[in-house]
Amino acid sequence: MELSEYKQLFLDEAQEILNSSNNVLVNLEKEPTNMGLLNDLFRHTHTLKSMAQSMGYEEIAKLTHSMEATLSLLRTGTLRAEKATVDLLFRSLDALGELVETVKGGEAKKVEVAPLVERFKELSSIVAKGERRPSATRRESLKRGKDEHAPKGEKHGEVQAVRVPLTKLDNLMEVTGELSINRIRLVQVTQAIENSALEEIVAQMSRLTSQLQDQMMQVRLVPLEYIFTPYARMVRDMAVGQNKEVDLIVEGSDIGLDRSIQDEINESLLHLLKNAVTHGIEEPDERERQKKSRRGQVKLVARRERDFVVIALSDDGRGIDIEEVEEVAIKRGITTKEELPALTPKEVVMLITYPGYSRAKKVTEAAGRGVGLNASRIKVESFGGTLDIDTRLNQGTTFFIKLPLTMATVQTMLVGVADETYCIPLSYITETIKVSPQEIRSIEHNEMMPYRDTVLPLVRLRDKLGFAKDEGQMTKEEEIVHRYSVRGKRSSITPHISIVVVEAGSKKVGLAVDILLGQQEAVIKPLTGILKEIKGASGATILGTGKIALIVDVPSLLN
Amino acid sequence: MGLTLSTLYFKKGIRDMKKIRVLVVDDSAFMRKMLTEAIESDPECKVIKTAKDGVGALKAVEELRPDVVTMDIELPEIDGLTCIAYIMEEFPTPVVVVTGFSKFMGEETIKALEYGAVGLVRKPKGPLFQSMGKLKLELLSQIKIASQVDGRKLTPMTVKEVKGKPAKPIPKTTNKIVAIASSSGGPRALSQVIPKLPADLSAGVLVVQHMPAEFIDSLAERLNSESKLYVKVAEHLDPIQQGKVLIAPANFNCRIESKGNEGELIKLLPLSSEKKSHLTSANEPMTSLAPIYGKNASGVVLTGMGNDGTEGLRAIKGYGGYTIAEDESTCVVYGMPKEAIKAGVVDKIVPLHEIAQEIVRRVRK
């Protein structure tokens, strides 16, 4: 019997088991009730435990034993694979990795198994407590002379929560959306009929439909842990990969946010996290020179602000060097030496979110492709959110992502362009104004219009959406004006152009449309399949008339 | 075919033929190596193949027809339990379950035994040289017992799955007792005896089952869920009552004492550490209860290796009690009943499926 032989075998297999366990756990996180995954994880843990016991590796045996206990509760459905549980399992896998490293004789950080074991015990005891409650009735039945092994009575405890598959929720949301659209049509039809009894009923129904929609949105709010959970592992792995020491602190992961927004925003957050670790946090030695602790800190804090959720992602790293930003921005042609002095420091920092900005000397695997920050900003803004940056040299950077709680419905302005109706989300709109064609100046093919005491770039939605500029044909506006004049009200109004002033990020433009048609609450349907490729549209909605209108993707128009 | 081959080999006088051919099934390469080394440390045993999952195991069983299979419970794809059920159905082969103990797997382990696994070995605790020693000791003895099992007796038994928990009778004092000794193949045999006992059986029941200490609780739980009587592991000073089946814990000397009017109770004395490797004996409680209960005592010896229970039955019979032994036809290992019968201390020999009936008949008398 060769000890070294067994040891090597143990090390190899333990590593293998930990690797697959990590993968299984990552999947389990997504499907917390998947029996196959639970069984696999249990088996892996059990095998590792048996191996460790045979070798006499007490710590590994202890920890795997605790994991086994919790996994067994998960298997029987007594416990749910909540974030805390999955997190704990992840942390345990990490600890096991370190312990295996210790066995190898390599340098590993000291792992304290006891706190993890304690946490597992707490988890089990919570469950035990939960189970003990109904036994009060059992004790009573004993008093009444019944045997303690008599069948347990039905639990009459109130059901506090039910688990519903997300697809069902989505379907429900869809139907609710359809209902709202019909409500709008019903209101329009009712107004035409002018029947007070009908109007009363419709008014009441409208209110109820709104309430239903509100409630639906509440239901759709999923705790941010939905996307936050894997970050810890990711940050850890990235840090390890770059020989950095980074702690991720997550706060407010219990705050709810529309699930589809979370799905969409996840990639952006991942990108920002990667930036924080790769560009923000310095190497441990450098941090020491800066008189900072060797371990860097990345903080992800979410908080609710009325109908918005603000996610602040900060690092205590090197911060953004404004001079460097200016240099890069000029080099990449994002701005010019002449323009720079006009920009506030904040605006200069925002330049890093412009297309083409990249300060990375070489493209690393984790970050630095240049498109990331820009894409993130566009993504955030496409939900009517904002991205802000606060940075201090050598103290760190904070990205503030402000997102609406839900994106299922938005208030929009309906505009007409070439006989089609489009929706512009109100959140982008600063105001609507009219300018006369004479006021528009063309500077190097770019049109500018006066706005307050300055000028704004003018963007004709007609051009952007690919409609031919038909000189012969009057715009709707002109047509209406023309019609008015035909009716004899010879007006002196020259055909003014309707402008919707929109703002996204730090850019503001005047959007020229043919006609303003009014405001409407729109239920947004995502564009799928081939429609996804449509430039300038972020979604579609059904109008009160039953017609379909595209939602104008303002941020992408501005870039 | 198998017979022809054996004869052929026998004629050729190949020494290997005498070796016990073992198939090792475990999903861990580490464990496979350890088990193989432990098994092959005995010149009488040979590992003919190792399998890392259920599919490989079943294929190997079919192709190689091993004498004994060591089986892990937690396996990928087809789990150990399913493998055992399949093996018993298609190619009855003695199986020794080798599992890391986990109280969360207790039920599955007991089920494996009910399905027909004859041995149970707990994966050892280290350091390595120590675990290897323990593993050799336990595994080899279980493999050797298993190798003597007649495969034809391993036909699967229908294990009744009880839905819901039946109401159990309220335990009350009694002047009658049934003591049962059981070893290899015992959990399966007990699952055919204890659940068949009626709720109104007017005797206390005491069972001594030889098995690793960690699995006794699971055995009791499993039997309790299947039985009309209340089954539990005996605790120190538990009273002997009707409506209750006490299972002697492992690693204890177990005696029955009378407290006069207060009835009889069980006393548990820890086995001294050098005796720990020996399992709880059935002789001790049987000989201690015989003079107390006299003709109201019944002793039963079920399947198992060795001769435990013979002395106990002798005492019970000597004080006027009734003694029963399992018939050879149903014994997975015909050791203990054979010894008792040979010693002339058995009143009645019945096959397994009639044992419960025989107990009831005697107690009602």
Q: For residue range B318-341, what is the model confidence (pLDDT) as tens digits?
A: 999 999 999 999 998 999 999 999
Ordered by start, the domain boundaries in chain B are: 2-154, 172-364
On chain A, the residues whose CB falls within 8 A of the CB of B132 are 1
Burial class (CB in 10 A: 0-12, 13-18, 19+), A494: exposed
pLDDT at B157 over 70: no
Chain A contact present for B163, CB below 8 A: no
CATH topology of B2-154 equal to that of B172-364? yes
pLDDT confidence of residue A255: 86
Best of B28, B35, B129 to substitute, by most chain A Cβ atoms within 10 angstroms, is: B28
pLDDT confidence of residue A194: 83
| Shortest CA distance from B26: residue in chain A | A47
Q: Topology of domain B2-154, per CATH?
A: Rossmann fold (3.40.50)
Res. B158 pLDDT band, cuts 50 70 90: low
Instruction: Check CB contact under 8 Å for A53 and B125.
Output: yes
pLDDT confidence of residue B161: 55
Distance of CA A541 to CAs A419, A538, B255, Å? 17, 10, 82
Instruction: Tell me the mean pLDDT in the region B6-19.
Output: 51
pLDDT confidence of residue B76: 83
Instruction: Check CB contact under 8 Å for B76 and A49.
Output: no
Which CATH number does B172-364 carry? 3.40.50.180
Chain A residues in contact with chain B using a Cβ-Cβ cutoff of 8 Å: 1, 3, 5-6, 9-10, 12-13, 40, 42-43, 46-47, 49-57, 61, 65, 68-69, 72, 75, 147, 149-152
On chain A, the residues whose CB falls within 8 A of the CB of B168 are 147, 149-150
Collapse the DSSP code of B16 into the 3-class scheme (helix H, G, I; strand E, B; otherwise coil) and give the result. helix
A351 phi-psi bin (left φ>0, alpha ψ -120 to 50, beta other)? alpha
Instruction: Tell me the mean pLDDT in the region B191-207.
Output: 93
pLDDT confidence of residue A155: 37
In tens, the pLDDT along B66-103 reads 999 999 988 887 888 889 988 888 889 999 999 887 77
pLDDT confidence of residue B189: 92
pLDDT at B316 over 90: yes
Residues with pLDDT less than 50, chain A: 130-160, 362-370, 470-472, 484-493
Beta pairing, strands A296-305 & A246-251: parallel
Q: What percent of chain B has a predicted confidence (pLDDT) above 70?
A: 90
In tens, the pLDDT along A329-356 reads 888 877 888 888 888 888 888 888 877 7
Q: For this structure, is B183 an active site residue?
A: yes
Contacts 24+ apart (CB under 8 A), A292-299: A292/A316, A294/A245, A295/A245, A295/A246, A295/A247, A296/A239, A296/A244, A296/A245, A296/A246, A296/A247, A297/A246, A297/A247, A297/A249, A298/A235, A298/A246, A298/A247, A298/A248, A298/A249, A298/A273, A299/A248, A299/A249, A299/A250, A299/A251
On chain A, the residues whose CB falls within 8 A of the CB of B71 are none
pLDDT confidence of residue B97: 93
Res. B13 pLDDT band, cuts 50 70 90: very low
Q: How far A130 CA sits from the closest chain B CA (Å)?
A: 19
On chain B, the residues whose CB falls within 8 A of the CB of A50 are 28, 31, 99-100, 123
Lowest mean pLDDT among A332-346, B177-191, B238-252, B342-356: A332-346
On chain A, the residues whose CB falls within 8 A of the CB of B167 are 147, 149-151
Q: For this structure, is B347 an active site residue?
A: no
Chain A contact present for B102, CB below 8 A: yes
pLDDT confidence of residue A106: 64
Instruction: Check CB contact under 8 Å for A54 and B34.
Output: yes
Instruction: Check CB contact under 8 Å for B30 and A51.
Output: yes
Q: How far apart are the first and last CA of chain B?
A: 51
pLDDT at B287 over 90: yes
Q: What is the pTM of this model?
A: 0.52
Chain A contact present for B64, CB below 8 A: no
pLDDT confidence of residue A4: 81
* Rounded Cα distance, A226 and A74, in Å: 19
Instruction: Check CB contact under 8 Å for A68 and B102.
Output: yes
pLDDT confidence of residue A469: 58
